[in-house]
Structure 1
Amino acid sequence: MLGRPGGPLTTEFPCPNSNVGDRVVSASATAAPAGASSESQNVATLVHNLNGTMAEAIAEINDINANIQLLALNARIEAARAGQAGAAFSVVAQEMQSLSGKTSEAAHGLATDTQQTIDELIDVIGNRVRGTRLSDLALVNIDLIDRNLYERTCDVRWWATDSSLVDALAPEADDDARRFASDRMGVILSAYTVYYDLVLCDMRGRVIANGRPGNYASVGTDQSQTAWFRAAAATQSGDEFGFQTAHASPLVNNQLALVYSCGIREGGQANGRLLGVLGIVFNWEGLAQTILKQVPVEEDLRAATRCVITDEKGRVLADSFGRQLQDTIKLPNLPELFGKQKNFEVCQVDGKRCCVGHAQAPGFETYSTGWHSVIIQPMGE
């Protein structure tokens, strides 16, 4: 894939030298929007208060009715004792008792209908509060990933201009030149620990040097058919880059990785003749799994809450449940959910009623993965 995954070619080179070391954006640096959740929570509180006030009022009406019915009963008893003289009073007492009964029935009906309506309203608002929070957290997850991976695109384009790599691909290069390139890549790796390895390929796709030869025996292997090599070999300038999505990479003993790539050009110039390709093998699990496992959900919900990163087809690239590259998210309305930048829905997932928060990668600077972040949380947990 050329440029940014899921988007057009990156045509600028905005960060010529990322700070040495690992620039990892922490979750605390990107706060989830709280306005909608706070507003919904306030409304939910008001509804709860209204429910309590209504229940108290209906209880008071029932108490008054009970007293009226008792008074009417006593009045009918006294009217019966008075005989003919109390006949008229008995009719009044009977009507009072009848009216009290109707009032009691009306109060009971009001209590039932109101309680049902309030319960439904509380459920809807509760879903909105939870759904908004989960979609906020999903946005934080994918935003952190985009910000971190943007730096990988800068790294590969910068390092592809290194003179030691250019020299190792020259027609007259010997074993000493390739060893020096390997040593140089090893120095880079010692400062950037987010990478498994750096590999240098000639135009045939053959690895001629790597930064950690003691760990990974990739020299001599053929990478000509890999997505990352083919993408970089097809670029028109050093301002463009290639990419291969999450996969078990043979370059690093099948560890889960992303590979960013860039063409190495004559003289280290952006428009120089293409000499070969640099591939940087990024520790994808080290970034994604850490972010997903540190999502700030309530402790009593953590074990049941699943946080995933997927591609546009729902293929799981990272997963707090540990099923990355082994699963595809199956939701009843996945196209509709993925059709919006940020949203949530309540639906059945694996036989359970769940609240599902979603956010698509917003992008950072000139880069976006285009991936989706999803958080699935069972209701009533």
Structure 2
Amino acid sequence: MLLSSFDTSRLSDEVPPQVRACGERLQHLDSWLATVTLIGKVTSPTGAVSLYDSVNTTRERFRALREKLVSALVEAHAGELEMKLGSLAQVAVDILIRNLFERTADVGFLATDPMLRAFLADGESAPSEANLAERLEEYVAKYSVYDNVLLLSSQGEVRWALQACPEAQRDAALMADLARSRADYLEVCRPSPLLPALPEAHLFLAPVLADDQPGSRCFGLLCLSFNLQDEMARLFDQLCDAQQHLVLLTPDGHVVASSLAALPAGMSLGDPGRGRVEAITLQGRRYLCRAVEGHPYQGYAGLGWRCMALLEQRDAFARGDAGVTTLMATGGEATADHRQGALAEICDEAADVAQRLSLTVLNGRITSAQCRLTELTPVLQQVREIGYQTRQVFDESIASLQNAMTQVTLADAAMRSFSMIDIMDRNLYERANDVRWWALDNRIRHWMQVGGAEAGRHMTRVLEYINRLYTVYTNLLVFDTEGVIRAVSSPESSALVGTRLPEALSLQACLALGSSQAYAVSAFAPTPLYDGQATYLYMARVTSAEDGRVLGGMATVFDAAPELSKIVTDNLPSPASAGAAAFGLLVQPDTTILATSEACWPVGERLDAYLPVSLVGMAPGQRRTQWLEHGGRSYLMGLTASAGYREYKVTDGYCNDVIALACLPLA
């Protein structure tokens, strides 16, 4: 069945109506000036011919300037589309890559779980399928991005699945890929007989080894099924509006997921929009599109996917306020500065040419008065009026374009702030998941029941292993019901063992948590557990696997300083070669700074001591833009309030209002 037909063309073939109207208006004025000049030459005495020669010379300069203006308008319009479409696509694919990077750690760590090892080893200590299901249901309840978990034999046959798939079969291509792979895990996204009900399965696989030593016996494979369609639908809902659409594409141009019905999954789209904005026709509708590749995150680049943003041409060519729904530029600051400089040059030239035309008219009036050439008067009046209208067209066009560029910068700032806060929410979602899952580690639960110095050493080894894999923490702690620390992951913090929890960690709040899904988080405040710096401390209770008795708790120390700072700086444009640089912050509603790109504004201090910023009344997810004067420069500022991610800060009862600010200087 024919799903859709499409064709592409270069954007340079498309001239926006407002640009075409400007060119036509200037063409009309130029033609009328030529006609008036010709009439003047025919009807005026020979002595006045030099005046009309001067008008013709000025007209030639206006004509050249007209071409320059129209060219600048087309270039600026293309740059505006590049900013809207290219940056929208870039934000989407980069957020996805960060999400999938977390999954690579998940599969590697879960593959070391003792219960999974025991089940696949099929020995006397193998857990029942009911116990295995209970444990992995706990996992999926916390890491809610997965829709299934499978355990495979070392030959690839399905041994067990969390969600039954009765027609599942061995995936020979997958096993061949595993045999060729040298990585610790394998990631694929394609149809798989392991999950035949899915058009495409996004799978992360890792070997389940007998122990943590390299080269140890392989008992089988862990396979995590990432719910890509659900994740992309959530991302599209956040980023798209009624006009803008997003499509995730494979390297060879097949649709993986789309917010546009005309582009269903599996459709071959080819390579439009790569390297430039292009036009594309889908089911009779014409769209402008731009496709970009994702930026690698900590060396992880995913499966080479790219993301395409589309905007229907009629919406792209409509005038109006760009608003806060247009999206973040991923570069091009030098291009924007170039456009501003070109417009200023055109404006200066237009003023100079108009002044020369006024001088010509003035000289004509003097000549007319001296020689009593009354027939020159109406012609000179027409020349003067045409010159005035021409200059008015230039001024209006340049002012309109400058306003549009300001609106795009506002939208740029708004979306940069959105990207900051969204990435922060997604990052901390993972942190809440980690502590709850690790608190269910059967090794920790066992040794907490045993107690004593030997138990502490065993737990220390477990914590050290976890911390080596998850480097966003500076320390992991296990403590008993009295608040006495029994083990830590950081050798530098070994002196904490045997001491009580600091006040920043509420023992009672942790022990009172009602279930394994519950967690507690400290306020963002300085703590001795983080060298006196401010951070978040996450806690979950540790219970007995046999009877559910509370044994104590686990705490993680988030490495907030570099992690939050990187979220801010990664979402700012590259520093300008000259002039003021953009800056960004994460702050609480009372303007207490959590992270900043400005070294002179310390974390923990109030931003309102430095900037006239009010954050009162911002609701979760709200976006705002405003003008800012700071340090003798003008900035456009985007603000976005945290809205949470999935269940995190949405339905889990945790409240943590944070606002991201992105401030971009006006050129």
Q: Tell me the CA shift for residue 178 of structure 1.
A: 2.1
Q: Distance in 2 between matches of 1:224 and 1:61?
A: 76
Please, what is the CA RMSD of the aligned residues?
4.5
Of residues 297, 300, 304, the one that matches 1:26 is: 297
Q: Which residue matches 1:217?
A: 495
Q: Distance in 2 between matches of 1:156 and 1:254?
A: 22
Are 1:277 and 2:571 an aligned pair? no
Q: Tell me the CA shift for residue 42 of structure 1.
A: 9.1
Q: Which residue matches 2:598?
A: 321
Of residues 144, 148, 159, the one that matches 2:427 is: 148
SS of the aligned residue for 2:629 comes to: strand
Q: Tell me the CA shift for residue 71 of structure 1.
A: 8.8
C-alpha spacing 1:109/1:250, structure 2 compared with 1 (3 Å): same
SS of the aligned residue for 2:607 comes to: coil
Q: Distance in 2 between matches of 1:152 and 1:268?
A: 27
Counterparts of residues 168-187 of structure 1 (less than 5 Å): 168-170=447-449, 173-187=451-465
Partner deviation per Cα, 1:148-193 (whole Å, 9 max, x = no partner): 22111111111111233323443x6222122221222112112222
Q: Distance in 1 between matches of 2:205 and 2:603?
A: 30
Alignment length, in residue pairs? 346
Q: Tell me the CA shift for residue 52 of structure 1.
A: 6.4
Q: Which residue matches 1:86?
A: none
Q: What is the TM-score when the length of structure 1 is the normalising length?
A: 0.72
8 Å Cα contact 1:241/1:260 also seen in 2? yes
Q: Tell me the CA shift for residue 223 of structure 1.
A: 2.3
Are 1:343 and 2:614 an aligned pair? no
* Greater Cα shift, 105-114 or 246-255: 105-114
Counterparts of residues 42-81 of structure 1 (less than 5 Å): 63=357, 66=360, 70=364, 73=367, 77=371
SS of the aligned residue for 1:346 comes to: strand
Partner deviation per Cα, 1:270-315 (whole Å, 9 max, x = no partner): xx23221100111112322223233351431796221111123221
* Greater Cα shift, 66-75 or 293-302: 66-75
| Unaligned stretches of 5+ residues in structure 2 | 1-139, 150-203, 207-294, 323-335, 650-655
SS of the aligned residue for 1:204 comes to: coil
Q: Which residue matches 1:137?
A: 416
C-alpha spacing 1:34/1:274, structure 2 compared with 1 (3 Å): farther
8 Å Cα contact 1:354/1:376 also seen in 2? yes
Q: Distance in 1 between matches of 2:613 and 2:454?
A: 59
Q: Tell me the CA shift for residue 332 of structure 1.
A: 4.2
Q: Distance in 2 between matches of 1:19 and 1:238?
A: 26
Q: Distance in 1 between matches of 2:619 and 2:577?
A: 24
Are 1:233 and 2:511 an aligned pair? yes
Tell me which amino acid in the other structure corresponds to 1:295: N
8 Å Cα contact 2:595/2:603 also seen in 1? yes
Q: Distance in 2 between matches of 1:219 and 1:103?
A: 93
Q: Distance in 2 between matches of 1:356 and 1:129?
A: 12
* Greater Cα shift, 104-113 or 249-258: 104-113
C-alpha spacing 1:202/1:165, structure 2 compared with 1 (3 Å): same
SS of the aligned residue for 2:571 comes to: coil
Q: Distance in 2 between matches of 1:337 and 1:105?
A: 54
SS of the aligned residue for 1:377 comes to: strand
Q: Distance in 2 between matches of 1:65 and 1:326?
A: 60
Q: Distance in 1 between matches of 2:310 and 2:510?
A: 41
C-alpha spacing 1:278/1:339, structure 2 compared with 1 (3 Å): closer
Of residues 138, 162, 185, the one that matches 2:441 is: 162
Of residues 365, 377, 380, the one that matches 2:664 is: 377
8 Å Cα contact 1:208/1:220 also seen in 2? yes
SS of the aligned residue for 1:335 comes to: coil
8 Å Cα contact 1:312/1:371 also seen in 2? yes
Q: Tell me the CA shift for residue 319 of structure 1.
A: 0.9
Q: Distance in 2 between matches of 1:31 and 1:288?
A: 26
Q: Which residue matches 2:640?
A: 359
Q: Tell me the CA shift for residue 233 of structure 1.
A: 2.5
Identity rate, percent: 18
Partner deviation per Cα, 1:32-62 (whole Å, 9 max, x = no partner): 98969x959998999999x969x87995897
Tell me which amino acid in the other structure corresponds to 2:519: F
C-alpha spacing 1:332/1:191, structure 2 compared with 1 (3 Å): closer
8 Å Cα contact 2:524/2:536 also seen in 1? yes
Q: Which residue matches 2:545?
A: 267
Q: Tell me the CA shift for residue 374 of structure 1.
A: 0.8
Of residues 179, 182, 203, the one that matches 2:481 is: 203
C-alpha spacing 1:32/1:197, structure 2 compared with 1 (3 Å): farther
Of residues 547, 556, 571, the one that matches 1:295 is: 571
Tell me which amino acid in the other structure corresponds to 2:637: V
Q: Tell me the CA shift for residue 132 of structure 1.
A: 0.8
Q: Which residue matches 1:8?
A: none
Tell me which amino acid in the other structure corresponds to 1:70: G
* Greater Cα shift, 104-113 or 350-359: 104-113
C-alpha spacing 1:158/1:66, structure 2 compared with 1 (3 Å): same
Q: Which residue matches 1:334?
A: 615
8 Å Cα contact 2:638/2:662 also seen in 1? yes
C-alpha spacing 1:377/1:206, structure 2 compared with 1 (3 Å): same
Partner deviation per Cα, 1:120-152 (whole Å, 9 max, x = no partner): 534432221111112222222222222222111
SS of the aligned residue for 1:344 comes to: strand
C-alpha spacing 1:335/1:166, structure 2 compared with 1 (3 Å): same
SS of the aligned residue for 1:155 comes to: helix
SS of the aligned residue for 1:217 comes to: helix
Q: Tell me the CA shift for residue 68 of structure 1.
A: 9.8
Tell me which amino acid in the other structure corresponds to 1:131: L
C-alpha spacing 1:157/1:257, structure 2 compared with 1 (3 Å): same
Q: What is the TM-score when the length of structure 2 is the normalising length?
A: 0.44
C-alpha spacing 1:212/1:360, structure 2 compared with 1 (3 Å): same
